[in-house]
Chains A and B, each alone.
Chain A
Amino acid sequence: KNEVEQSPQNLTAQEGEFITINCSYSVGISALHWLQQHPGGGIVSLFMLSSGKKKHGRLIATINIQEKHSSLHITASHPRDSAVYICAVKETSGSRLTFGEGTQLTVNP
């Protein structure tokens, strides 16, 4: 079992839909990252959070430390949101990031 599990693996939505990507982890963490990877490989850090909720534009990330679960929400989705979204955790035992397998999001016009 992976230490970080994401669902769904693939998600197709129509433009304007509300999207949720989930991440569950099994280790103690100091922080959780949500990353975005576009075709071509470049990775952008969307959020780093250790508690509660963060919002940036149409993106919202929440984390529940007790349940070891985080969600990434996209409101009013747009085709330019199409990318792979990756959850990554920084374990309390070290400094490395451990990654989920990613969620491929496709938003159709």
Chain B
Amino acid sequence: GAGVSQSPSNKVTEKGKDVELRCDPISGHTALYWYRQSLGQGLEFLIYFQGNSAPDKSGLPSDRFSAERTGGSVSTLTIQRTQQEDSAVYLCASSFGPFTEAFFGQGTRLTVV
């Protein structure tokens, strides 16, 4: 596609439910990143994929968070047993490689009620 695409754009879920967030990177981009921006706070790193492997997942806040990437393309971020503190905008970015310019998606706004 022309840009990084994320879906859904908005998600409201009940506390305790599982959610899946999807990211379609720019075609040909091997590097993919997930970031989170909580209300009133700056962006924080969650996980980095190079191809289908995740050499850096040190930013995942708990074991309720997991992510996978298949075919070197689409990535899914899964949050199990959601908590209110998970409410945030989840942003995906991709780049040709780890040292090239990153392009961001529009984000998924997650609200846990």
Residues of A whose CB lies within 8 Å of any CB of B are 30-31, 33, 35, 40-45, 48, 86, 88, 90, 94-102
CA distance A50 to B84 in the complex (A): 39
Residue tally, chain B, CB below 8 Å to A: 26
Find chain B residues with CB under 8 A from A95 CB.
31, 48, 50, 55-56, 98-99
Complex Cα gap A35–B106 (Å): 13
- Chain B residues whose C-beta falls within 8 Å of the C-beta of A41 in the assembled complex: 37, 89, 91, 106-107, 109
Q: How far is the CA of A63 from the CA of B54 in the complex (A)?
A: 31
Is the CB–CB distance between A96 and B99 below 8 Å? Answer: no
B65 interface residue per 8 A CB criterion: no
Q: For B61, what are the chain A residues with a Cβ–Cβ distance below 8 Å?
A: none
A101 nearest in chain B by CB position = B42
Majority secondary structure of chain A interface residues (helix, strand, loop or mixed): strand
**Contact B59 A96, beta carbon cutoff 8 Å:** yes
- Please judge, given known A-B contacts A43-B107, A45-B104, whether A98 and B91 are in contact too, CB under 8 Å: no
- Residues of chain A within 8 A (CB-CB) of B101 are 33, 45, 48
B51 shortest CB reach to chain A, Å: 13
CA of A44 to CA of B101, assembled, Å: 11
Q: How many A-B residue pairs have CB under 8 A?
A: 58
The chain B residue sitting closest to A44, CB to CB, is: B104
Out of B50, B55, B102, name the residue touching A97 (CB < 8 Å).
B102
Closest approach, in angstroms, between the C-beta of A42 and any C-beta of chain B? 4
Residue numbers in B under 8 Å from A86 (CB-CB):
42-43
Q: How far is the CB of A35 from chain B (nearest CB, A)?
A: 7
Inter-chain contacts of A96 with B (CB < 8 A):
33, 45, 48, 56, 59
Write the chain A residue with the least CB distance to B50.
A95
CA distance A88 to B33 in the complex (A): 14
CB distance from A41 to the nearest CB of B (A): 5
Complex Cα gap A25–B9 (Å): 32
Closest to A94 in B: B56
